[in-house]
Structure 1
């Protein structure tokens, strides 16, 4: 633990030097290393600014693409989203004002009163309506591309089922069979977020209100119903409320059974993807088990 802490401190010192070199007015500020993502390392400054440092060339391209997408999204949605500025130096990085708040996870949601739950669902439903209404050609020109494809049901069945037993295996078999039988999405493909879990939300726990959404690197074109599965990481109650509000705002009825099947399929796909990464397997099994329990 001590060695890991020392490495993180050294990394933070190096990034702090880069930031101050470009923004000397931040010399007396408080710097902290945020939970490190796959693509970038993020530094929080004074709980006010976020600086992101891509890890490699692929991550640099992803950041540049995200900035381009947000420049189209920001004026078109009611939901606050980051206003990211690219800083071109010896090492490319970005800067944006931090959205007030922190993650929204299941225990937080369960403590919310009825009014706050409904307000949250309405805000998210409006967000999805706004996103899904964006012009496809405009988003494509801004850099949007198809979202990551999942493995086929037969491949997921082959990899995931041997990792499960008992009721979990039975439920997995049922979900995969239902997934394999799903016809194409009735609304086809749309530009969407496709990452709307609570770890991409800035939730103000003092006011019990959503301050904004961030991390659009995984956004793109995909089946419309798939955009509604990620809030199930928070609570099925939230997803149902989002769908109900979305239907009222858009006039488009949604298939709840499809969202349910796709949620289970997504978790089984993630489990299948982890088959060669032994430490991740128990974590992914727990994710699937949580979903199965939520269906009861």
Structure 2
């Protein structure tokens, strides 16, 4: 049974005239009906098992965050997929950010900083956030290190391999350090940020990798927009006081560059060209 058949079987009252499927994500197939309703279908058992938790957590967080987030209002009877009203807005690619005028950009920075601040300081005890699992960065680090050893020596120069090893060593040091533990989105980057020009509102999607970990991870991929943008968001951030946060965020961003190289071989969703572009950018430095 394909996704549309599953939707029709689970929600016989639901009618639509147009449907489009989005398969470019790592962990879910997404079906959008009439540009109004989003259904997410987990592709791996851990994400299916976590769906009920995600629904409950987002329902709890929705009124407490200064941005729009998904609010699931249709969950399949067997819990295998769920849907929510489409969040309006353009995907915040760097060129979209660059197109914003000063007023809109200021509003975006304020809302993004407010989102990270509210999420990172959200009370956990006695709330659905108690269900959020600990970070799996240590396990991911082991996988990346193994994949890097298996695939990268034939493709990278000696200097590049030295950089890979240096980056992995820096992450090992962070994993051994005593760092803040907060609820993090864990995948804050351009494809998960939506900017609604008409309402001047930010939307944040895809909370399926939420975990408890270092707040710096939620700043890491903001370096896609450049150092000045990251610093502007951080200046308005009122989360845990932490003078080393942006340095750690840059380390995690560099790690993502290595992760994407290995993901090309292990999962195949990332093309070598895109992975290589990210790796080259982070090797060029924070201002690169």
What TM-score does the superposition give when structure 1 sets the normalisation length?
0.79
The answer for unaligned runs of 5 or more in structure 2 is none
Alpha-carbon contact 1:243-1:254 (below 8 Å) kept = no
Structure 1 counterpart of 2:30, from 27, 42, 47? 42
Task: State the shift of 1:168 in Å.
Answer: 4.1
Task: State the alpha-carbon separation in 1 of the partners of residues 219 and 122 from structure 2.
Answer: 17
SS at 1:137's partner residue? coil
Matched, 1:79 2:67: yes
- Structure 1 residues 81 and 168 mapped into 2: Cα distance closer, same or farther (>3 Å)? same
Alignment counterpart, residue 228 of structure 1, candidates 219, 227, 247: 219
Structural mapping, 1:112-191, within 5 Å: 112-138=100-126, 142-149=130-137, 150-151=140-141, 158=149, 162=153, 163-165=155-157, 168-169=160-161, 171-172=163-164, 174-182=166-174, 187-191=179-183
Show the counterpart of 1:289.
280
RMSD: 3.3
Among 205, 210, 213, the alignment partner of 1:219 is 210
Structure-2 change in CA distance of 1:263 and 1:38 (3 Å):
closer
Q: Contact (CA 8 Å) 2:184, 2:215: kept in 1 or not? A: yes
What 5-or-longer segments of structure 1 have no aligned partner?
1-10
Quick check: which has more Rg, 1 or 2? 1
Please say if 1:102 is aligned against 2:83.
Answer: no
Counterparts of 1:139 and 1:184, CA distance in 2: 29
Of 175, 187, 210, 1:195 maps to: 187
Correspondence for 1:264: 254
Q: Aligned residue pairs: how many? A: 281
Q: 1: CA distance between counterparts of 2:44 and 2:160? A: 38
Q: Is the 8 A contact 2:31 2:38 kept in 1?
A: yes
State the 1:127 CA deviation.
Answer: 0.7
Q: Provide, for residues 11-41 of structure 1, a one-character-per-residue CA deviation record: whole Å limited to 9, x for no partner.
A: 8xx4334434554554353222223533332
Is contact 2:47-2:208 (8 Å) kept?
Answer: no
Measure, in 1, the Cα distance between the counterparts of 2:3 and 2:285.
Answer: 42
| Residue 16 (structure 1) aligns with | 4
How far apart, CA to CA, are the structure 1 residues paired with 2:74 and 2:15? 20
More helix by share: 1
- TM-score after normalising by structure 2: 0.81
